[in-house]
Amino acid sequence: MIQLFSQLLTPKHKATASFYWMLILGIIASGCQQEVKLDLPTYEPKIVMEFYLEDNKPLNCLLQESINFTDTTRFKLIENALVVLSYQNQKDTLLNTLSFDPYFGKIYNYHNNKIIQLEPGIEYEIYVKDSKGRIITGKTQLNETVPIDTLVYNFNSKNQASAGLIFKDRGETRNYFRIVAFQTGQTINPDSTWDITFDDLLFNGRQFSFYTGYAFDPGDTIIGRLYHLTEDHHKFTQSVNNAQSSNGNPFGQPANIISNLKGGLGIFTTLQYSEKQLVVQ
């Protein structure tokens, strides 16, 4: 018969054994509490910008500073910077003032009320210089709109509707798209918004259709948008998604943000989209 080690000891031996066990556990515990110092390289914060030019919309820009991976600060907005948009011998300066888009829940810290009409073939340039003397620049152009052919819906057995967006790709160039489908309202809920970004590699020059899940009810008004992205915008979006997927994943591939800005990180691009809406009946 097998007996436990403690059952084979006399009371005296048990007391001695208990002492040694406590000593061993104390050594182990002290080893677990030892501080580990990581020799990390010095991190130099960079300017991070998101600036999306939209036709017939005011100018809005988010300017912040990148942070170290171990920094617990969520946002570091950059104040008192010079932000200038240039195009066709015109210059528009954005002022350091907070603005909020309640529809999509976006916040910006540089704004200009001027409404501009974007035109294909025009080069738009951005220049930013902050109070530390750091400078970032970027350029972009407008893509032509790709029209939505049809926005439809289908019901399942539970009387819930799926939205379908159908369009024809232009085969002469490489194209990049983003499809967004959501229910109209005072604000847009990201959790109930269908959003996908892709290129036309698999359907170049042919018709393409995208369907959401069964997320809509009778009486809902569905809005479908088809964005024709610039290549820079597509690469930036993909790199951000890859970085978010690998963050905290020990088996994930390290991902760098692909930016079209010189001297900083982020994206400066135009947003061009076609839109249709329908009521589920």
- What dotted CATH number matches 148-258+270-279? 2.60.40
- What dotted CATH number matches 47-140? 2.60.40
Residue entry with tokens 């820079």 = 232
Q: Under a CB-based contact definition with an 8 Å cutoff, are residues 167 and 207 in contact?
A: yes
d(CA 252, CA 242): 9
Domain ranges of the chain: 47-140, 148-258+270-279
* pLDDT at 12 exceeding the cut of 50: no
42 vs 112, which has greater pLDDT? Answer: 112
* pLDDT at 11 exceeding the cut of 50: no
Closest to 226 measured CA to CA, from 168, 173, 273:
273
* 195-227 pLDDT, tens digit each: 999 999 999 999 999 999 999 999 999 999 999
133 vs 253, which has greater pLDDT? Answer: 133
Whole-number pLDDT of residue 172: 86
Burial class (CB in 10 A: 0-12, 13-18, 19+), 160: middle
67 pLDDT band, cuts 50/70/90, is: confident
d(CA 281, CA 277): 13
Q: How many CB atoms lie within 10 A of CB 270?
A: 21
**Mean per-residue pLDDT for 55-80?**
86
24 vs 59, which has greater pLDDT? Answer: 59
138 pLDDT band, cuts 50/70/90, is: very high
Closest to 274 measured CA to CA, from 211, 210, 221, 225:
225
71 vs 281, which has greater pLDDT? Answer: 281
Q: Under a CB-based contact definition with an 8 Å cutoff, are residues 83 and 93 in contact?
A: yes
147 pLDDT band, cuts 50/70/90, is: very high
Average pLDDT, the chain: 85
- How many contiguous H segments (helices) and E segments (strands) does the chain have? 2, 18
Whole-number pLDDT of residue 40: 57
pTM: 0.80
**Mean per-residue pLDDT for 50-55?**
96
